[in-house]
Amino acid sequence: MTTALTQFARILRHNQTDTERELWQLLRRRELAGYKFRRQVPLGRYVADFVCLSARIIVELDGGQHGEQTSYDSERTSWLKTENFRVLRFWNNQVFEERDSVLAAILSALTAPSP
């Protein structure tokens, strides 16, 4: 049976932002050091933008609207940390303007020992 959250994640996958599309092209098909990423993945009552389950890394992209939902983001990040995920956050413009730095930060988190 498909849950409402799974259906919502599916809708998000089909309606990506330009930034999500750009980062997905860099992460998909094990392009980053052989690590497998999935996009718009339901975890608990949240949907993660990108997740590498084997490394327990979540990559979140924040646009201008995220300044208004810091409380929600904080609660969500806290819950994800209790589930042993490391959460990396990047502003949308960083993906386009600082692509190499973003990928280096993700790769560093992927290869760092788990906390």
Tokens read off for 66: 């995220």
User: Residues with Cβ < 8 Å from 80, sequence gap 6 or more?
Assistant: 43, 44, 46, 48, 58, 87
Q: How confident is the model at residue 2 (pLDDT cuts 50, 70, 90)?
A: low
Say what the pTM is. Answer: 0.90
> Cα separation of 85 and 76, whole Å?
11
Q: Which of 1-10, 36-45, 62-71, 74-83 has the lowest mean pLDDT?
A: 62-71
Question: Tens digits of per-residue pLDDT, 15-73?
Answer: 999 999 999 999 999 999 999 999 999 999 999 999 999 999 999 999 866 556 778 88
19, 50 in Cβ contact below 8 A?
no
